[in-house]
Amino acid sequence: MGEIPAAEVLTDSSTGTLRLGEDTVVRRLGFGAMRITGRGTWGEPENPQEALAVLGRIPELGINLIDTADSYGPHVSEELIADVLHPYRGLTIATKGGLERTGPGKWPRNGHPDHLKQACEGSLRRLRVDQIDLYQLHSPDDDVPYEESVGAIRELQEEGKVRHVGISNVSLEQLEQAREIVDVVSVQNRFNLVDRGSEDVLERCEELGICFFPWRPLGAGSLAEPGGVAAGIAAAHGASSGQIALAWLLHRSPVIAPIPGTSSVRHLEENVAAAGIELSEEELERLDEAGNG
């Protein structure tokens, strides 16, 4: 799997970079730090040494963007990142607030301004920084007016605790609503080969030059099963279906920056190698048609 040397891929100009605001440049393949926690994104990792090794390998592979959240663990992901990578030389650390945890797989929303401000303070402490590079509202809360949640993060930015602001799990209407309140530099929505539900949000991000982080980027559904389109293309490239899913995303839009997560060094290197896979126009058309079907 992944014939291209992983350690060399992200220095290749074909990977490209994206700009968050005017002062932060990130490579188009980042790392999502959700899976370095325990089962159900709850508690400590089952293999702590492997989780630490994954984090240590990230800068060696040329990745310079790490996405996490206070709810991953909760708190575990941010703490491990700080233990291994602080003081983050050359790295952009993005985190999120707005979800709470009541157990494995349970993610109640909390977009109250007071909670978001407390959540940000906690992330600042755990990450050991005075300012968070990119702070994202994890999800709208139906019990709180969206403008109040976004406004709280704007206040955190005005206080100097947040450099850039992003939003997540939003509709097109919510993106426009947030932009009236604060300068939004990124959107993080679910988007992959078989889930194109945020196509309209992605297209608006392209128009505005806003970075789009697709979560669950490896999703390929039946396309990855034997006989599926992604599986067939993967075999032709000596790659995995997951690598083809990532390569498709990188081809899909210049504002897309996938942030695949893993708790395995081998899988991390495989994900990075996907940036070097060149899909033909015919392969891209087949993936587009199959995913839309």
Q: What is the pLDDT of residues 23-60, one digit of tens each?
A: 999 999 999 999 999 999 999 999 999 999 999 999 99
Residue 94 near residue 67, CB atoms below 8 Å: yes
Domain boundaries, the chain: 6-292
- On whether the CB atoms of residues 277 and 233 are closer than 8 A, the answer is no
Q: Is the pLDDT of residue 9 over 70?
A: no
**Confidence (pTM):** 0.94
Give the integer Cα–Cα distance in Å for 181 and 22: 18
What is the per-residue pLDDT for 15?
52
Q: CB of 73 within 8 A of CB of 42?
A: yes
pLDDT above 80 (res 112): yes
Give me the pLDDT at residue 1, please. 39
pLDDT at 13: 37
- Average pLDDT of span 51-73: 97
* Residue type for position 31: F
Averaged pLDDT, 113-136: 98
Q: What is the mean pLDDT of the chain?
A: 94
Q: What b/e readout covers 178-216, taking b as 16+ CB neighbours within 10 angstroms?
A: beebbebbbbbbebbbbbeebeebbebbeeeebbbbbbb
> What pLDDT, on the 0 to 100 scale, is given for residue 129?
98
Chain centre to alpha carbon of residue 240: 20
pLDDT at 12 over 50: no
pLDDT tops 90 at residue 293: no
* The amino acid at 211: C
pLDDT in tens, 229-258: 999 999 999 999 999 999 999 999 999 999
Active site residues: 72
| Fold assignment, 6-292 | TIM Barrel (3.20.20)
Write down how long the chain is: 293
Q: What's the CA gap between 147 and 182, in Å, rounded?
A: 10
pLDDT tens column, 185-243: 999 999 999 999 999 999 999 999 999 999 999 999 999 999 999 999 999 999 999 99
CB atoms within 10 A of CB 220: 26
